[in-house]
Amino acid sequence: MASNDNQKKQVPLRLSPKLYEALAKWAEDDFRSVNGQIEYLLTECVKQRKKNGKYVGEDIDAPLEIDVP
């Protein structure tokens, strides 16, 4: 019987239209789907945190340059 450990979890996510558009453009530039881009970015953040025990940047909570409500 197959293990459920390798199955991906579905997570509902709400994004503002502006954030979605920014992610969609970035994903297109990287030849990924929006979902793939979000998964890639989250994976990289987790790897970085495991590497140095810190968040990616000290200003992680600073407002983005795009207007995201």
Q: Domain locations in the chain? A: 15-52
Q: State the pLDDT confidence band at 69, using cuts at 50, 70 and 90.
A: low
Q: What is the number of other CB atoms lying within 10 angstroms of the CB of residue 1? A: 3
Q: Coil, strand or helix: which one is 65?
A: coil
Alpha carbons within 13 angstroms on the beta-carbon side of residue 12 total 1
Residue 33 structure tokens: 């789907």
Q: Please indicate, yes or no, whether the overall pTM of this predicted structure exceeds 0.85.
A: no
Residue 57 structure tokens: 């940047």
Residue 51's pLDDT is: 73
Per-residue pLDDT tens over the stretch 2-60: 556 789 899 999 999 999 999 999 999 999 999 999 999 999 888 887 777 665 566 65
Helical segments of the chain, H only:
17-29, 34-52
Checking if the pLDDT of 1 tops 50, the result is no
Residue 27's pLDDT is: 96
